[in-house]
Structure 1
Amino acid sequence: MQKIYTNAYTNIISQQKQLSQVIYSGILEITELQDIILDYKNKTQEQKNHINNTILSKLKKRVNSLDKNFVKSIKLVSFKNDIFIATSKINKDSKLYSYVYKNKTPLHTYNIQNNSAGFSSIYPIFKDKKYLGLIEITFSEQFLTSSLMRDYSILSNIIIKEKYFDKGFLETNNVYQKAHNEGFLHNTKVLKELQRVANKSLKEIKPSKNTSRTIYSQAERKNINSMFLDSDDVIITTIPILNSISYDQLAFVAIISQGHEFRALNDYYKMIKFMVFILIALIVFVVYQQNLKRLILKENFNKIIQKDKQLLEQSKMAQMGEMIANIAHQWRQPLSTISTAASGVKLNHELEMIKKEDIPKSMDIIVSNCKYLSETIDTFQDFIKEKKVKNEELLQKRIDESLKIVSASLKNNHITLVNNIDYEKEVRLKIVGQELSQVLINILNNAKDAFVQNDIKSSRFVKINLLEDVKFVQIIIEDNAGGISEENLAKVFDPYFTTKHKFKGTGLGLYMCKTIIEKHFEGELSVENGKEGAVFKISLPKNLS
Structure 2
Amino acid sequence: MKKSILSKFIFIYLFSILVIITIFYLSHKTTIKKHLEINTKENYLEYKSAYDRNKQIADLIFEAEINSNEILSIFKDAYSSNEKEKNQIRKKLYKALEEKYFKLKAFNLKQLHFHLPNNDSFLRMHRPDKYGDNLSEVRETIKYVNENKKYIHGFEEGRIFNGFRFVYPLFFRNTHIGSVEISFSSLTMIKAIKKTYNKNSHFLIKKDIVNKKVFDSEKKNYIASPYKEFYYEKALLDMHKPIIIKENSEILTKKIYEGEPFSIFLEKFNIVKTFIPIKNPISKEVVAVLCICKKDSLINKKLEEMIVIFIFTLLAISSIFYLFFLQKKTNEKLKKINDTLDRRIELEIKRNRKKDISLLKQSKMASITEMLAHIAHQWRQPLNVISTSSSGLILHKEMGKLDDESFDLYTKSINEQAQYLSKTIDKFKEFVDDQEEECKSICLQDKLNEIIDIVKVNFENEGIKIIRKYQKENLYTTVKVGDLIQVILNILNNAKDALIKNKPKNKEIIIAVKRKKHKNVLITIQDNAGGIAPEFEEKVFDPYFTTKHESLGTGISLYLSYEIITNQEKGKIYFKNKANGAKFYIELEETE
TM-score where L is the length of structure 1: 0.51
Contact (CA 8 Å) 1:240, 1:253: kept in 2 or not? Answer: yes
Kindly provide the amino acid, as one letter, of the partner of residue 234 in structure 1. Answer: I
Opposite residue 8 of structure 1, the aligned amino acid is E
Tell me if 1:66 matches 2:104.
yes
Aligned 8 A contact 2:113 2:181 in 1: yes
Q: Percent identity?
A: 24
Q: Does 1:77 align with 2:77?
A: no
CA contact (8 A) 2:116 2:122 kept: yes
| Residue 317 (str. 1) matches residue 329 (str. 2) | no
Q: CA deviation at 1:40?
A: 5.6
* Equivalence for 2:71: 33
State the 1:95 CA deviation. Answer: 2.7
Instruction: Give the aligned partner of residue 535 of structure 1.
Output: none
Change (3 A) 1:2 1:166: closer
Quote the Cα distance in structure 2 between the aligned partners of 1:121 and 1:278.
63
Q: Are 1:119 and 1:138, in contact at CA under 8 Å, matched by a contact in 2?
A: yes
What's the counterpart of residue 405 of structure 1?
Answer: 550
SS of aligned partner of 1:79: coil
Match in the other structure for 2:207: 162
* Residues 76 and 184 of structure 1, relative CA distance in 2, 3 Å threshold: same
Matched, 1:141 2:141: no
Q: 1:261 to 1:57 in 2, by over 3 A?
A: farther
Q: Structure 2 stretches of 5 or more lacking a match?
A: 1-38, 324-338, 341-349, 382-526, 558-592
Residue 92 of structure 2, aligned match among 46, 54, 69: 54
Q: Secondary structure at the match of 2:141?
A: helix
Q: CA deviation at 1:326?
A: 5.1
Instruction: Quote the offset at 1:64 in angstroms.
Output: 2.3
Aligned to 2:260: 223
Q: What residue in structure 2 maps to residue 358 of structure 1?
A: 531
Tell me if the contact between 1:272 and 1:314 (Cα under 8 Å) persists in the aligned partners. Answer: no
Query: Which amino acid counterpart does residue 406 of structure 1 have in structure 2?
Result: S
| Residue 188 of structure 1: aligned partner | 234
- Local SS of the residue matching 1:190: helix
1:514-533 equivalences in 2 (<5 Å): none
CA distance in 2, matches of 1:3, 1:36: 46
- 8 Å contact 2:117–2:146 — kept in the other structure? no
**Residue identity in the other structure for 2:62:** Y
Partner amino acid for 2:208? K
Distance 1:210 1:41, change over 3 A: closer
> Residue type of the partner of 1:110?
F
The Cα shift of 1:51 comes to: 3.0
Could you give the per-residue CA deviations for residues 225-284 of structure 1, whole angstroms, max 9, x where no partner exists? 11112233221210101101111211101122223233113422553576689899999x
Structure-2 separation of matches of 1:362 and 1:86: 27
Closer/same/farther in 2, CA of residues 365 and 217 from structure 1, 3 Å limit: closer
Counterpart of 1:146, as a letter, is K
TM-superposed deviation, 1:156: 0.5
Task: Tell me the secondary structure at the aligned position of residue 239 of structure 2.
Answer: helix
- What's the Cα RMSD here? 5.1
CA separation in 1, counterparts of 2:124 and 2:279? 25
Q: 1:234 to 1:68 in 2, by over 3 A?
A: same
Structure 1 residues 40 and 14, CA gap change in structure 2 (3 angstroms): same
1:117 counterpart residue number: 162
Amino acid of the residue matched to residue 61 of structure 2? Answer: I
Q: What is aligned with 2:153?
A: 108
Q: Whose Rg is larger?
A: 2
Task: Give runs of aligned pairs for residues 298-309 of structure 1, distance below 5 A.
Answer: none
CA distance in 1, matches of 2:199, 2:121: 44
Aligned to 1:21: 59
Assess, with a 3 A threshold, how the Cα gap between structure 1 residues 313 and 404 changes in structure 2: closer, same or farther: farther
**Distance in structure 2 (CA, Å) of the matches to 1:210 and 1:188:** 23
Asked if structure 2 preserves the Cα contact closer than 8 Å seen for 1:41 and 1:81, the reply is no
**Does the aligned pair in 2 maintain the 1:215–1:236 contact within 8 Å?**
no
Secondary structure in structure 2 of the residue aligned to 1:194: coil
Distance in 2, matches of 1:161 and 1:262, equals 31
Q: For the Cα contact (< 8 Å) 2:119–2:134, is it kept in 1?
A: no
83 and 5 in structure 1: CA distance in 2 versus 1, 3 angstrom threshold: closer
**Residue 275 (structure 2) aligned to one of 214, 232, 238:** 238
Query: How far off is 1:365 after superposition?
Result: 13
Q: 1:9 is matched with which residue: 28, 34, 47?
A: 47
Structure 2 Cα separation of the partners of residues 81 and 112 of structure 1? 16
Distance 1:24 1:83, change over 3 A: same
Q: Residue 206 of structure 1: CA displacement? A: 4.3
TM-score by length of 2: 0.47
Task: Provide the residue aligned with 2:299 in structure 1.
Answer: 262
**CA separation of 1:194 and 1:139: change in aligned 2, threshold 3 A:** same
Aligned CA distance change for structure 1 residues 251 and 10 (closer, same or farther; 3 Å): same
Q: Tell me what 1:249 maps to.
A: 286
Cα deviation for residue 3 of structure 1 reads 0.8
After superposition, the C-alpha distances for 1:159-199 in whole angstroms (9 at most, x for unaligned) are 1112112469566555333335434322222111225xxxx
Contact 1:76–1:135, Cα closer than 8 Å, also in 2: yes
Equivalent in the alignment of 2:524 = none
* Conservation of the 8 A alpha-carbon contact between 1:218 and 1:238: no
CA-to-aligned-CA distance 1:11-68 (integer Å, 9 cap, x gap): 1111111111111112335662333344568988766543321212344433322334
Moved more, 186-195 or 273-282: 273-282
1:328-365 alpha-carbon deviations (Å, 9 max, x no partner): 987999xxxxxxxxxxxxxxxxxxxx999422499499
Work out the CA distance in 2 between the residues paired with 1:184 and 1:263.
31
Between the aligned partners of 1:270 and 1:52, the Cα distance in structure 2 is 69
For residues 317-336 of structure 1, the aligned pairs below 5 Å read 317-319=365-367, 322=370
The alignment partner of 2:551 has SS state of helix
CA contact (8 A) 2:79 2:177 kept: no
